Structure 1
Amino acid sequence: MRRESILALVIFFHVLFISQPVLASTQQVVHDFVEHVIKNDQITAESFLISEMIKIPEIKKRTQIDKFVVLPTPQYEDTKIVVTYFKGEVGGELIAFIWELVVKNGKISRIKVIHDGTNPLLEEAKIIKEYQMKFQKNVFVPSKIPFEVTGFDGFIDNDRLTLYYRSEAINGFLKIYVSPIKRNLEQYKEVNDEMDTLKDGTKILFKTNSPIAYGMMFQKDGLQYYVGIGNRKFLKKSFTKEELIQLIESMDGK
């Protein structure tokens, strides 16, 4: 009787374990997903997504991509960084795109574009990531800059992040300061400055008096932003208030 009970128990646990779905590792899920993406196998790639709300980003020059690496993120076991390369360029470091992927329950639950193959600002992604990890805040940066960017510098000074985009085409720059909110936006208002509102309800302060830059300020998710285009005196192009608003409207989280 005792032997039969033990045998029944063994069979029960055997059936229990083999009946449970075995989830693939995060590394394998990401690898298989990206492999189908770069092969343009849209249907299979979408089967890896946790819901229809997750969209696969548009890829430039898809047919030229044939190699990629999946890198870990030390802070999060469920998050991987994918770096893809144009055909024949591994070692030459000609990157096609870089994505950050989060996996939940064996499915892709989040896709964040770090580099899309059209904007070579890898240093921008690096410094923003560093600031976000240090202060646990989501930083908003422009996705549409109204001129060609030919250079970038960025640095963190205490709790302030500086992003500096240079442009030879306009003989100027775009500078963005990001820091924790220390006082209300209205307190920065000076004579002739103007208040306005973005489509999402965010208040913005248009700084009209600066001889150096076309500038605007706004506050969002615990951070204050100053966005300025200069050097105003030597720019080859002038900028309207509407163009600056469009620039800020394009700012989304990295």
Structure 2
Amino acid sequence: MRKPVPLAESDTVFSSVRSQSLASRIVTQVIDALFAGQFKPGQFLGTEAQLTETFQTSRVPIREALGRLEALGVVTIKTGAGGGATIAEGKPDQFATALAVQFMLVQVTAEEIFDARIGIECRAAELAAEKITDDQIEALRLLLERIMEPDLPRRESVDRILAFHRFIVEASGARTLVTLMHALEHALLNLFTALEASPRNSRIGYKSLQGIFDRIAARDSEGAFTAMRLHLLDRRKSMLYRLKELSDQAGIATPAS
């Protein structure tokens, strides 16, 4: 049987929870220990029996705490022989999906979506210009050419635009920016599908996308940052104006996402 954190060591990691709110305190202690660097991904935390001994409590709060930690993505739990709780491996995509759901639940506004997007993509464009390879430049060029093809269906146009922006963020090599961008894409897709690709403005913004590409391809980080910022500020202004226009036409508030 695998061993959990030795008790001699766990004394400095965990403390008795008998006089506290049991399950929540266990969860807090495990998360605090993780942030303090006392656990690593894949490290065995313990079986239920071992954890009852470590925390000096019964199995009921241990099971509740493990359920919460599993829901948070902190641990993975294996049942049966050789089972127990293990510190989870990182899964940024899972986090991005969970964050996207939270954006929907708190009903983030279009302004909030674009403000976050500006922060993420401007820094990403700057980093991409510093790190991009020749092969990535060619791939980004092809994405831009696909955006500019005429007579694209609405959803296809939106998907290609988002793919261009996503590629830049991924080329930055910044995992936090990539994860946050993935989370925002759900809200952006809803906004773009509803408003962005109408006949009267289907090619608005393409020139500025070309400018962003040119600065990144030239490996001009400052220019890439500025080009992205100007493009997104213009898109933000246009999007908010058209949301208000739709709202006024309908006589009701239009959801941001």
TM-score for the superposition, normalised by structure 2: 0.25
Higher relative CO (CA 8 A, sep ≥ 6), structure 1 or 2?
2
